[in-house]
Amino acid sequence: MTPEKTPVRVSVILSTYNSEKTLQRALDSVFLQEGIHRDFEIELIVVDDCSTDHTREILEANKIGYVSTPENSGGPNRGRNIGLSLATGDLFCIMDHDDEWLPGKLVSQLAVSHLAPIISSGLTVIYGHRNRSVENFNQPRGDSACNFYGKNVTFLTTLSRSTEGQASYIGSMLINSSLKHIRFEENFGMVDYDWGLKLFEGNCSVEVCRPLYKRYVEESNLSLNTVYRAVDFYFSLMILDGYSEKYPAEAWAGYQRLHGSRARFYYLTGNMKKARFYFARSGWNIKTLLYYLTTFAGSGVVRKMFTVFG
């Protein structure tokens, strides 16, 4: 008699903070995954960062246990690291409290998880404050529904902060447990650029070439927070400097694109003097020149018609 195969176990690490408006949607999207209890089991690890709203009541109403940080850490990284230390799954995912998974996310990624230790997917970004959504994914090469990226390929595009290459936003990834020792920085508690570099360096990866989850962006999101943007900028500069001797071309490209991102943030928020300062340090091309020129006149039209940042 053939022994019954043990289902794959996926650890889902969900960090929460004052998430009463979005948490139920995130939880439902996890528990309604296709193939759950048949193709895989889920270990849900929730770490709450000292919420002051009804987040904990929602977890309790769903009969979900959780652990708490000793005090509010100011970002999701402390909770993510606690979750990584508790995870026992064969693979793991990092989820934010305002993410929403499509029903086929895990089963689609698990189908190709034997090919590489990191499986990403496309995503749909929903800008609630602008009533707009954008799909972000690559077209598959050849007949496959997935793209394979060789060792260090995505590491180098991540280092150079290129928008080309693998779609690898943190919330899209399914990761082999052999990489769970890679931890997030806790000094600032909110930056994940260095984590992504350490994750992809020396590894191959796969992208499922269609959107498998939704990322919601509101004006209150951390990604649009002024303090977060400053911390991300200066910490990322330090990280790039650390790689500059070994990978000079990619680090320099990353430096320029980081300044371009900083410029577009100020462009979006209406601080045109600072936008010009950072555009001038981002490397000139036609697009950057047009952005620079419209900081003097016409920025309102550009911000209304295009996704400048986010």
Note whether 215 and 171 are within 8 A (CB): yes
d(CA 99, CA 27): 9
pLDDT of residue 306: 79
Measured CA to CA, the distance from residue 287 to residue 291 in angstroms comes to 6
Q: Which residues are paired to 149 by β-bridges?
A: 205
Tokens linked to 293: 């020129």
Q: How confident is the model at residue 217 (pLDDT cuts 50, 70, 90)?
A: confident
Alpha carbon 101 to its chain centroid, in Å, reads 13
pLDDT at 102: 98
> Which helix or strand (DSSP H or E) is residue 124 part of?
strand 118-127
Mean pLDDT of 155-174: 95
Burial degree of 303 (CB within 10 A; 0-12, 13-18, 19+):
middle
Give the span between the Cα atoms of 47 and 81, in whole angstroms. 9
Tokens of 272: 């045109």
For 290, the token pair is: 């047009």
Percent of the chain scoring above 90 in pLDDT: 83
Q: Which of 45-49, 122-126, 132-136 is predicted with the least confidence, judged by mean pLDDT? A: 132-136
200/274 Cα distance (integer angstroms): 33
Q: What is the pLDDT of residue 177?
A: 98
Amino acid at 304: K
Nearest to 119 by CA among 94, 139, 96: 94
Residue 128 has pLDDT above 80, yes or no: no
Q: Which residue has the tokens 């759950």?
A: 36
Instruction: Give the model's confidence band at 2: pLDDT under 50 very low, under 70 low, under 90 confident, else very high.
Output: low
Rounded Cα gap, residues 204 and 44, in angstroms: 26
What mean pLDDT, rounded, does the chain reach?
93
| Mean of pLDDT values over 192-215 | 97
In whole angstroms, how far apart are CA 228 and each of 76, 191, 224, 310? 12, 8, 8, 13
> Looking at residue 218, what is its pLDDT?
76
Residue 287 clears pLDDT 60, i.e. is over it: yes
pLDDT grade for 182, boundaries at 50, 70 and 90 = very high
- pTM of structure: 0.91
- The residue with greater pLDDT, 91 or 129, is 91
Dump pLDDT digits (tens) for 139-152.
998 888 999 999 99
Contact (Cβ atoms closer than 8 angstroms) between residue 156 and residue 247: yes
50/55 Cα distance (integer angstroms):
9
Which domains does the chain possess? Answer: 8-215 (3.90.550.10), 244-305 (no CATH)
CA 9 from centre of chain: 22
**What's the pLDDT at 59?**
98
pLDDT of 60 over the 60 cut: yes
Query: Which two tokens mark 232?
Result: 């991300």
- Is residue 3 scored above 70 in pLDDT? no
